[in-house]
Structure 1
Amino acid sequence: MKQDVHSPSAHNRHAKGREKLLAHLAMMLFALLIGGSFSLGGLAAQHVPAATLQVMRYLMTIAVLGVMTYGVLRVPFSVPVEPWRFGILGLLMSVYMLTMFLALEITSPVQTGAVFTLMPLMAAGFALVLLGQRTRLGVLASLVIAAIGAIWVIFRGDIGALLRFDVGRGELIYFVGVICHAIYVPLIRKFDRKENPFAFGFWMAVATAFFLLFPAAPQLPTIDYADLPSVVWVALAYLSVVTTAITFLLLQYASLRLPSSKVLAYGYLTPTVVIVMEGLLGHGWASAAVFAGALLTACGLVVMALLPD
C-alpha cells in the first residue's frame, strides 16, 4: 500500500531531512568562518603571546555570550547540572586553542589549516569509542582520500619531505590540539542535557578561559594593551564573536543531527579557504601542488556529504 505523504511518519522523515540539510549548511558556514580565523589569528599572534591572546579572546566571548544569553534571550541564570562536563570540554578546547596559536607563531596558516583537516578521520575513531557510532565504508573511504590530500599540503607538496617525514614543529604542536578537538566533538553529543545552546556555550567559554588562565597568568601584566596594533583588536573581535560564539552554536546544532565524522569533515574546506585568504591579504599564493592537495580534500568532502549516514 502506498504510504500517505501526509502521514506522521512521512512528516517526521521530511522534518529530519530538513534538519540534516540545515546541519550541512551550518557546517559549510562553520568551515568558511574557521578558515578566516587562521589568517587573522596568524596576524595577531605576531604581537601577543598565544596564551594571553586566547584569554583575551575568551573573556570577550564570555561577555558576548553572557549578554546574549541572560540579557537578550532572558535565559534564567543557574549553575549547570553536572558541571564536570564543562571542565572536561573546557580543558580539551583550551589545549586546542593554545596549540593552534603556538603553531601559528612558527608556521604558516596554510600548514595549520591542513593539519586541521586530519580531524574528521580521528573524530570518526573517537565517535566509535565514545558513542558506538560506526562510520559507513564509503564515508570512511572519503575521509581517507581527503586525509591524503591534507598530508600532501602539510608536506608542502614535496615527495622528498614526505619520505623523510620532514614535518615542522608547529604542525606537530597543533596536531596535539587537533586530537583534543576530535575528542571534543563526540563529547558534545554525549554530554548534551537539552540545555539552552547559548547557556551551554557560555559555560563552555567560562571553563575554557579558566584553564587558559594558568599558562597566561605570568604574561598578562606585562602586555601594553594600549599600544597593541589595531589588527590584534580586529582579530580578537572576530575570534570571540565569530569563531567562538557563532561557530560553537553551528557545531552544536550539527553535532546533534549528523555523525561526528561528517560534522568535522567540513574542515576539509579549511586549507582552500586559508589559501584564498592568504592570497587576498597579500601574503602570497600557495604553489599549484599544495593547492591541488587542498582541492583533493574538498572533493573528499563533496563525496562524503552525498553518502548516507
Structure 2
Amino acid sequence: MSVQWYPGHMNKARREIEEVMTQVDIVIEVLDARIPDSSQNPMLNTLRGEVPVLRLLNKKDLADKVRLDLWLEHWRDNESILAHPFSTLDKLDVAKISQWVSQMVPHRGSAEKPIRAMIAGIPNVGKSSLMNALLGRRVAKVGDEPAVTKSQQKLKVTNGFQLLDTPGILWPKIENPGASYRLAVTGAVRDTAIDYEDVALVGLKFFIADYRDALIARYKLKELAADPYDVLKVIGSKRGALRSGGKVDMHKAAEVFLNDVRTGAIGPYVMETPEMIALEERLVEEAKAKKEAARLARLAAAVPQRQQASNLAYRNSQVQSADQASVTNQNENLDEKQ
C-alpha cells in the first residue's frame, strides 16, 4: 500500500512541537481505542522525553472492552503514563480530564502556575472534538477527514489549566505494514491515498479471524467463507453494490464494509493486543537486520570489483603516461638531430 504519510504541514508541525515541548507540563495524547498502539506516534514519544503523558483512548464506545483492558494493564506500571478509556461524547469523561491532569502534574494548577497541557495525536482520532468539549464551545474545526487541524492554538480552559493544540502528525515512515493497514481500516489515512478493496480485504481477514460472529450477524450470513475476497463479494451482493448485469462492484462493496467498520455498525472491536504488537515489532526488527546484512554483503562483494576497476584505471594511466613520455623523448631526439 502506497501512502503519503508526511505532507509538508506535518513536517512543520514536528518542528513546532519540538520548539514548545520545553514549555509543556503534560502531553494529552488522544488515541483511537480500536488501535491503541498503531495510533500512537513514536516520534511524539521521542519528542516529549520525560514529560508525562495522559493517554485518552477515544471512541471507547466502538472498542472491545476486554481487549482494551489488556492495554490499560500493559501501561499500568509506567509512572509517566496514565491511560483511560474515553469518549468526547461522554460529559463525565470530559469532566474528569482536569482531575487526571492534576494527578500527573500535582505541583502546578494555580493561576500563577497553570498546568500547560499539549493536546496531540495522529489525524482523525478526535483531538478537535476533545478541545471543543473541554472548552464548551466550538474553537477547533471538526471533520471526518484526517488532518483537519493544521496550526497551533493556545487556549485557556480555567485559570489553572491551559491547552496547546497541535496539528495531527504522522511519522515519516511506518515500518510495520500491519500498523499502516490498521490505520487505513479505521480511517486515519485519507481515503484518496488508499486502495479501498485492498484495505477492506485486510479488515475482513481480521474480522473473520477475531470477530466472526459479529460479521455473520451484521450481514445476515448463513455461512462465512474463509477467503476475505469471497466474503466481500457476498457483502456487495447483499448491500446492492452491483454493476449492470448483476456483477458485484468490489470498490463499492469495500466502501460499504469500511463504513460499517468505522461507524461501529459491525460491533465493538480492538484490532491489536500488546502480545501481538510485541511479535510484530520483533518481526520488523528481524526484517530490518536481514535487509542491513544483505546491504553489507553486497558492499563487501563489490569491493574486489571496485578494486579491479581501480587497478585497471591505474594501469591505463601508467600506460598513457609511458606513451606520452615516449613521444616526448622521440620529439626531443629529433630536435637534437636537426
The TM-score range, normalised by the shorter chain, is under 0.3
Q: Name the larger-Rg structure.
A: 2
TM-score between the two structures when normalised by the length of structure 2: 0.25
Q: Looking at both structures, which has the greater relative contact order when contacts are Cα pairs under 8 Å and sequence separation is at least 6?
A: 1
